[in-house]
Amino acid sequence: MGFGEIAPDRRVRVQGEPVASYPRIAPEVERGAVRRITVVGEEILRRRCREVVEFGTPGLARLIDDMFATNQVAEGAGLAANQIDVDLRVFVWDMTDDWGVRHVGHIVNPVLDEVPADERELVEETEGCLSVPGPYRTVPRLGRAVVRGRDKEGEPLVVEGRGYFARCLQHETDHVNGRLYLDRLARRERKSALREMEEAKEEAFARRAANAAKWGK
């Protein structure tokens, strides 16, 4: 750091808030079960998911635990409920941003804030998807994103992300709206990504199965 610079706050952010300490493996992973991840071509990935109307239920808590466990063994940054064949507006994340800060959390009924045109700053970076196993492609996304929704108990939640975390929030909100990153590509790029997926998916599935076995899942 140069003179006068402030050291970045590297504390883990849980539900958007910094915490004093956090385990290497999220508690939800320990509790959760691994579920099959849906793949592009399955109808559930192409429709807008249903709003959650009941909060604080064992079923919603179990769903979020299972999503964390599934995301962990698949080595993902985030996962939406329709990626494990559940038609609900929920997603989870556990990832590290461009500045080395880890973000962990879940959100229910997410909605992204609209960004005025004069404040839009698009960043082009590579992006992949657990439901499109294998390929990565360059996708323009906003460099800052704010998502609003509720936590599993129904409490209001606002989470802000920048850089890679902003990309994750936008990617997962796309999922619950029935969109994939492939939809943001030109037709030729989309076709090449799908061809690459066909060649790579069996290896990806095998790696996930090996990780699940290692975790006793």
Q: How far is CA 202 from CA 9, 54, 84, 143, 208, in A?
A: 40, 37, 18, 33, 10
Any catalytic annotation for residue 172?
Answer: yes
At 77, the amino acid letter reads A
Considering only CA atoms, which of 182, 208, 206, 180 is closest in space to residue 194? 182
**Active-site hit among 124, 172, 196, 203:** 172
Q: Which position has the token pair 């409490």?
A: 155
Q: DSSP characters for 66-133? A: HHHHHHHHTT-SEEEGGGGT--BSEEEEEEE-TTS-EEEEEEEEEEEPP--GGG--EEEEEEEETTEE
Considering only CA atoms, which of 21, 163, 20, 167 is closest in space to residue 99? 163
3-state secondary structure 189-203: HHHHHHHHHHHHHHH
The C-alpha atoms of residue 80 and residue 45 are separated, in whole angstroms, by 10
**Which residues are registered as beta bridge partners of 104?**
14, 94
- 176 φ/ψ angles, rounded to the nearest 5 degrees: -70, -10
Q: Which residues belong to the active site?
A: 172
